[in-house]
Amino acid sequence: MKRQSDEAGAAQFAATLAADEKIEPRDWIPEGYRQTLIRQMAQHAHSEVIGMQPEGNWITRAPTLQRKAILIAKVQDEAGHGLYLYSAAETLGTSRDELVDLLHKGKQKYSSIFNYPTLSWADMGAIGWLVDSAAIVNQIALQRTSYGPYARAMVRICKEESFHARQGYSIMMALSKGTDVQREMMQDAIDRWWWPSLMMFGPPDAESTNTAQSMEWKIKLYTNDELRQEFINQTVPQAHYLGATVPDPDLTFDEESGNWNIGAIDWDEFWAVVKGNGPLNRQRIAHKLKAWEENAWVREAASAYAAKRSRDRIEATA
Ligand code: 3HC
């Protein structure tokens, strides 16, 4: 296929964006667009995979067989989300192994939220309800992102995330209707997960180094603060329905805008966690590395099997 000149390619790229159509792997792509997508999609995939750890920690301690089965299904879903996203990122000319190596070396990030400990069963509810709802708010927007493979990966991920959020809220509902101790567990988990969930949407727009360009390229359709506000408006009434208190003494409802206005987010905490100094950053990566090394045999066996299948197919047609 004749390679498009950069001028023609850039014009086509701009026209595709302007028409709100999808950029596809075969299209001419500016290097900055490609690098931004690799950075964001890799971070998204890494988040899904590291995000398996906090919840995996409670599979053996689920209170009932049904809750255990649901949590196993959710954790397995997250692994699948990671694989979709690595596969989507590979359409940009990178490889899953390369991205995983960058994660292991601390050269790529994953979501700050997964560096917090899960201290009780109520945390499974808070993560499902708050963290997955936050992910859904962000990912519904990403279903319309300009890069085709990323947008399409979001469609199936969003469907599965809805189950994740529902099962989390179901746990919180059960606790809210339980004993005083269970209600205290529920409130304690909300107290610990509320603010880190708000931080998932990234720094305030004024401090976001990537938002302006990502909006211009329609990688992002909304800013960090816009998505954060949507999440807050959605979850505060849900917390009140649980009979829970949102841990923000400055929380007020603005009748005119219809927004719940929050107090100050501790951005020092956010940046400390992003920079590797959160409660469990080191443990999360250490666990990831240990699992990567211990399960190398699975990758080798799968590769050997795939190679044999490929040889058999060639011999069969020779
Ligand atoms: N955790 C870690 N780093 C974060 C962060 C967070 N919550 N929010 C922002 N950052 C980093 C950014 O990566 C960027 O650093 P970099 O330039 O070195 O990569 C810096 O802080 C400045 O932030 P920006 O707002 O400029 O960065 P972005 O434009 O990339 O916006 C984002 C950040 C909103 C998280 C965006 O990357 C995004 O929408 N990513 C896709 C969604 C995603 O990754 N979600 C993670 C959760 S997945 C999940 O929850 C799984 C679910 O199943 C539970």
DSSP 49-116: HHTHHHHHTTGGG-SSHHHHHHHHHHHHHHHHHHHHHHHHHHTTT--HHHHHHHHHTTSS---GGGGS
Among the atoms of ligand 1, which is closest to the Cα of residue 209?
A: 26
Query: Is 43 touching ligand 1 by the criterion CB < 6 Å?
Result: yes
Distance from the alpha carbon of residue 111 to the mean position of ligand 1, in angstroms: 6
Among the atoms of ligand 1, which is closest to the Cα of residue 44?
A: 44
Which of 157-161, 193-197, 243-247 has the weakest average pLDDT? 157-161
pLDDT of residue 3: 60
Average predicted confidence (pLDDT) for the chain? 96
Query: Is 223 touching ligand 1 by the criterion CB < 6 Å?
Result: no
Q: For residue range 285-315, what is the model confidence (pLDDT) as tens digits?
A: 999 999 999 999 999 999 999 999 999 999 9
Distance from the alpha carbon of residue 203 to the mean position of ligand 1, in angstroms: 9
pLDDT of residue 2: 55
Query: Is 228 touching ligand 1 by the criterion CB < 6 Å?
Result: no
Q: Which of 35, 74, 109, 223 to mutate to test the pocket of ligand 1 (most atoms within 8 A of CB)?
A: 109
Among the atoms of ligand 1, which is closest to the Cα of residue 200?
A: 7
pLDDT at 129 over 70: yes
Distance from the alpha carbon of residue 54 to the mean position of ligand 1, in angstroms: 18
pLDDT of residue 4: 66
| First-to-final CA distance of the chain | 29
Among the atoms of ligand 1, which is closest to the Cα of residue 47?
A: 48
pLDDT at 152 over 70: yes
Q: Which of 209, 267, 271 to mutate to test the pocket of ligand 1 (most atoms within 8 A of CB)?
A: 209
Query: Is 39 touching ligand 1 by the criterion CB < 6 Å?
Result: yes
pLDDT of residue 6: 87
Q: What is the mean pLDDT of residues 58-75?
A: 98
The first and second tokens of residue 267, run together, are 């951005």
d(CA 277, CA 99): 22
DSSP assignment letter at 147: B
Which of 6-10, 183-187, 237-241 has the weakest average pLDDT? 6-10
Backbone angles phi, psi at 223, to 5 degrees: -80, 170
Q: Whose CA is nearest to atom 51 of ligand 1?
A: 48
pLDDT of residue 318: 85
Confidence of residue 5 (pLDDT cuts 50, 70, 90): confident
pLDDT at 1 over 90: no
d(CA 145, CA 92): 15
Q: What is the mean pLDDT of residues 145-149?
A: 98
Distance from the alpha carbon of residue 20 to the mean position of ligand 1, in angstroms: 23
pLDDT of residue 267: 98
Query: Is 248 touching ligand 1 by the criterion CB < 6 Å?
Result: no
d(CA 222, CA 215): 7
Location of structure tokens 């302007």 = 18
Q: Which of 71, 274, 277 to mutate to test the pocket of ligand 1 (most atoms within 8 A of CB)?
A: 274
Among the atoms of ligand 1, which is closest to the Cα of residue 43?
A: 44
Query: Is 68 touching ligand 1 by the criterion CB < 6 Å?
Result: no
Q: For residue range 223-275, what is the model confidence (pLDDT) as tens digits?
A: 999 999 999 999 999 999 999 999 999 999 999 999 999 999 999 999 999 99
Query: Is 209 touching ligand 1 by the criterion CB < 6 Å?
Result: yes
Distance from the alpha carbon of residue 307 to the mean position of ligand 1, in angstroms: 37
What percentage of the chain carries pLDDT values higher than 90? 97
What are the residues whose beta carbons fall under 8 Å from the beta carbon of 44, sequence distance 6 or more?
85
Q: For residue range 160-183, what is the model confidence (pLDDT) as tens digits?
A: 999 999 999 999 999 999 999 999
Do residues 198 and 231 touch, judged by C-beta distance below 8 A? Answer: yes
What are the DSSP calls for 222-265, one per residue? S-HHHHHHHHHHHHHHHHHHTT---S-TT-EEETTTTEEEP---
Residue 247 Cα distances to 126, 153, 181, 190, 263, angstroms: 13, 34, 18, 8, 10
